[in-house]
């Protein structure tokens, strides 16, 4: 059963019930008023006829009987009982008024009042009855009219409820049409177009539906992006691993076939180099995969300056012949994010600058700058190397992508991992030319606080 039909039927049932209750109430009030009016007439007739009726019964004078007939409101009936015998009956003789018991009662066609009236030597019992036929007929006509009104009113109200339900459910029809179109086309970008005339409940339902569709669309986009990323990731990983695996297999076959090969040491070095390359590559793949799954549940608030300090200190230990300068605020730089992810970002930017940013004499001079703005934090890693051409700056952020003129060995994942972490934290990574030559990589991140700190050359300390 459709909702429209349910609303119409329920409206018809409720309306019919209300009209029936109203009709019964009106009929009851009318019947009560009729009885009160009839009883008032009966009382008046009794007061007028009681004594003349007793006198006429006792004296049996014709003139008194004629006078009594004149006072009757036809077809009123008057009867007098004495010592259990009926001594006078005026009016309809065949009327059944019942026994002469004192009180007021209602018979089939009459309202009867019976009382004892004391006159002269003793009391007599007088019955006065007035017909109720007219009021009964009127009440019957009212019942028939009320029934017709209830039936017609129920049908009319049911039709009106059907039309009203149709108009009220039009927004739901729009919602159903949108869901049907989404189911048919799998287009999750569709939304419900509301109007100012929509009821509050329908508007709230449409808003909830749109919110749900937005979340589904976002989830679908993330799923598609994850699938595309997994496909390209798998293809690129297979491509990148093929070369070191082939080289490793070839070298192992040489060692197996020629245990006393004169260049055994060089072959073993090549095997170890391939092993290290694959290890770095697999570590990078693991980090990228973990970054794809990272969410807000991993975020925490920590001091970014501390992590930059530690990264520079570790890089100096690994590259004692190179110069790594740190410029950062003297105080803490609080930030909310994935701590491990941002450490990966810092380490990769510094490692990339030390690997590819060497000058002509083979030395590297890297400057790491951490600065705060009112609503953001800027981390810049600059070197004095050959720089990155403008035409390649977008490409080198892709996974397994390296500069076309780069001869230094690497996996091509360093900048890709840094860019991934910047996007996870709602920031952006940009590459530019350093003043005086070299490349400058800047990452903008949202800060936890909006304060300024004095920037100075900072000496890293292990904490």
What pLDDT shows up at residue 453? 37
What pLDDT shows up at residue 241?
66
Whichever domain contains 432, its CATH number is: 3.30.565.10
Q: What is the pLDDT along the chain (463 residues), one digit of tens a residue?
A: 677 778 778 888 888 888 888 888 888 888 888 888 888 888 888 888 888 788 777 777 655 556 666 666 667 788 888 887 888 887 766 677 778 888 888 887 788 888 888 876 678 888 888 888 777 788 788 888 888 888 888 888 888 888 877 777 777 777 777 777 777 777 777 776 666 666 677 777 777 877 887 888 888 887 777 777 667 666 656 655 666 777 778 878 887 888 887 878 887 877 787 777 677 666 666 666 666 666 677 788 999 999 999 989 988 988 888 999 999 998 899 999 888 888 888 888 998 888 888 877 778 899 999 998 888 899 999 998 888 888 888 888 887 666 655 555 556 677 888 888 888 888 899 999 988 788 999 999 887 643 333 344 444 544 3
Full residue range of the structural domain in which residue 268 is found: 187-293
Please tell me whether residues 316 and 340 are part of one structural domain: yes
Whether 176 is in a domain gets the answer: no
- Would residue 53 count as lying in a domain? yes
Give the tens place of pLDDT for each residue, 55-106. Answer: 777 777 655 556 666 666 667 788 888 887 888 887 766 677 778 888 888 8
CATH code of residue 209: 1.10.287
In the prediction, which pLDDT does 452 show? 34
Q: For 234-267, what is each residue's pLDDT tens digit?
A: 665 665 566 677 777 887 888 788 888 787 888 7
Q: Residue 326's pLDDT is what?
A: 93
Q: Is residue 71 part of a domain?
A: yes
User: Based on the domain organization, do 388 and 309 belong to the same domain?
Assistant: yes
How many structural domains is the chain composed of? 3
Position 207 in a domain: yes
Q: Which of 293, 309, 342 is the last residue of a domain?
A: 293
Task: Say what the pTM is.
Answer: 0.46
In a domain, 174, yes or no: no
Looking at residue 463, its pLDDT comes to 36
> Residues 311, 378: one domain?
yes
Q: Are residues 331 and 389 in the same domain?
A: yes
Do 195 and 273 have their domain in common? Answer: yes
Full 3-state SS string of the chain: CCHHHHHHHHHHHHHHHHHHHHHHHHHHHHHHHHHHHHHHHHHHHHHHHHHHHHHHHHHCCHHHHHHHHHHCCCCCEEEEEECCEEEEEECCCCCCCCCCCCEEEECCCEEEEEEEEEECCEEEEEEEEEECHHHHHHHHHHHHHHHHHHHHHHHHHHHHHHHHHHHHCHHHHHHHHHHHHHHHHCCCCCCCCCCCCCCHHHHHHHHHHHHHHHHHHHHHHHHHHHHHHHHHHHHHHHHHHHHHHHHHHHHHHHHHHCCCCCCHHHHHHHHHHHHHHHHHHHHHHHHHHHHHHCCHHHEEEEEHHHHHHHHHHHHHHHCCCCEEEEEEECCCCEEEEEHHHHHHHHHHHHHHHHHHCECCCCCEEEEEEEEECCCEEEEEEECCCCCCCHHHCCHHHCCCCCCCCCCCCCCCCHHHHHHHHHHHCCCEEEEEECCCCCEEEEEEEECCCCCCCCEEECCCCCC
Domain boundary among 270, 293, 316: 293
Same domain (yes/no): 245, 390: no
208 shares a domain with 141: no
- Give the pLDDT score at 304: 93
CATH of the domain at 57: 3.30.450
């Amino acid at each position: 059963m459709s909702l429209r039909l349910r609303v119409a039927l329920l409206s018809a049932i409720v309306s019919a019930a209300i009209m029936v209750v109203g009709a019964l109430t009106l009929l009851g009030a009318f019947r009560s008023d009729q009885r009160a009016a009839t009883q008032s007439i009966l009382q008046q007739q009794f007061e007028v006829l009681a004594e003349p009726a007793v006198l006429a019964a006792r004296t049996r004078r014709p003139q008194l009987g004629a006078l009594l007939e004149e006072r009757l409101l036809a077809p009123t009936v008057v009867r007098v009982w004495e010592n259990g015998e009926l001594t006078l009956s005026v009016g309809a003789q065949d009327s059944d008024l019942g026994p002469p018991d004192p009180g007021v009662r209602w018979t089939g066609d009459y309202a009867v009042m019976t009382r004892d009236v004391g006159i002269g030597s003793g009391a007599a019992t007088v019955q006065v009855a007035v017909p109720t036929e007219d009021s009964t007929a009127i009440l019957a006509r009212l019942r028939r009219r009320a029934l017709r009104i209830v039936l017609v009113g129920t049908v009319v109200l049911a039709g009106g409820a059907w039309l009203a339900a149709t108009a009220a459910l039009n927004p739901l029809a729009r919602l159903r049409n949108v869901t049907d179109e989404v189911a048919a086309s799998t287009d999750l970008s569709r939304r419900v177009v509301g109007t100012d005339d929509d009821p509050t409940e329908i508007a709230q339902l449409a808003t909830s539906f749109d919110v749900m569709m937005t979340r589904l669309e976002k989830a679908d986009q993330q799923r598609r992006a994850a699938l595309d990323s997994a496909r390209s990731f798998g293809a690129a990983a297979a491509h990148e691993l093929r070369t070191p695996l082939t080289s490793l297999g070839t070298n192992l076959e040489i060692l197996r076939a020629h245990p006393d090969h004169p260049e055994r040491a060089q072959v073993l070095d090549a095997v170890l180099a391939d092993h290290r390359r694959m290890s770095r590559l697999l570590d990078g793949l693991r980090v990228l995969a973990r970054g794809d799954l990272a969410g807000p549940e991993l975020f925490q608030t920590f001091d970014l300056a501390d992590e930059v300090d530690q990264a520079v200190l570790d890089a100096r230990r690994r590259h004692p012949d190179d110069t790594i300068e740190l410029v950062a605020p003297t105080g803490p730089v609080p930030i909310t994010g994935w701590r491990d992810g941002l450490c990966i970002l810092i380490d990769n930017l510094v490692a990339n600058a030390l690997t590819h940013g060497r000058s002509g004499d083979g030395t590297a001079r890297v400057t790491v700058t951490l600065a705060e703005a009112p609503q953001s934090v800027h981390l810049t890693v600059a070197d004095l190397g050959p720089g990155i051409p403008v035409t390649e700056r977008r490409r080198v952020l892709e996974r397994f992508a390296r500069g076309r003129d780069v001869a230094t060995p690497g996996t091509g994942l360093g900048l890709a991992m840094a860019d991934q972490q910047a996007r996870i934290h709602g920031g952006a990574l940009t590459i530019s030319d350093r003043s005086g030559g070299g490349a400058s990589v800047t990452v903008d991140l949202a800060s936890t606080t909006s304060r300024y700190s004095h920037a100075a050359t900072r000496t890293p300390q292990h904490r």
